[in-house]
Amino acid sequence: LYLTQPTAGAFLQSLLISAVFLLILIIDIEHRLILHVVSLPSALLIGLLNSLNADLGLKRTLLGGAVGFFTFFLLYLAGVIFGRWIARRRSDAPEEEAFGFGDVMLAMVIGVTVGFPGVIEALIRGILAAGIFSLAYLAIMALRRRYEAFSPIPYGPFLILGGWWVYFQGWSTLESLLGMG
């Protein structure tokens, strides 16, 4: 952390962000939950700190949070609709959402952490990491003959991976694609 963010204030902010991400990651892996009591205060505190940051500022911080929240809110609604459709086809009651609202809140936390347009790259990296892991998991389970359709996998750790990547490495890939760098 210290090598990436050399000033004392930036180091402490990086430590706070890493602690929040680590807490969310562990809880999501163990319980498949992202608690609002963790994500909402974290978004407010990190958002406040980043709005005072000369690199991000208030506008990019708030826009990052809004883009993260609304993008994943639409995915959440699509997951609810998909879950109901599957349940209807199976003649079951819907078991659990394909995509939880905690993931929506986490996308907002990541958005205020990396700002706009960094949130776009962070979420894309998280989604790609989840997809790669899911394909590998499906292949392993199929080879072991233990495959079960719709096996839940916690999504938060992959989003956090994308958020960490962009926070510590920047959003250079997006800059290159958009001709900004």
| Identity of residue 146 | R
The answer to the question of residue 95 being in a domain is yes
Using 50, 70 and 90 to split pLDDT, how confident is the model at 86?
confident
The answer to the question of residue 88 being in a domain is yes
User: What is the domain count for the chain?
Assistant: 1
Residue 15 CA, distance from chain mean position: 18
Which residue range forms the structural domain that includes residue 113?
Answer: 8-178
The answer to the question of residue 161 being in a domain is yes
The answer to the question of residue 3 being in a domain is no
The answer to the question of residue 29 being in a domain is yes
Cβ contacts of residue 129 below 8 Å, gap of 6+?
158, 161, 162
**Are the C-beta atoms of 67 and 174 separated by less than 8 Å?**
no
Burial status of residue 100 (CB atoms within 10 A of its CB: 0-12, 13-18, 19 or more): buried
The answer to the question of residue 1 being in a domain is no
Tens-digit pLDDT profile for residues 118-139: 999 999 999 999 999 999 999 9
The answer to the question of residue 56 being in a domain is yes
Tens-digit pLDDT profile for residues 149-162: 767 789 999 999 99
Q: What is the pTM of this model?
A: 0.88
CA angle in degrees (0–180, nearest 5) for 173-49-162: 30
The answer to the question of residue 2 being in a domain is no
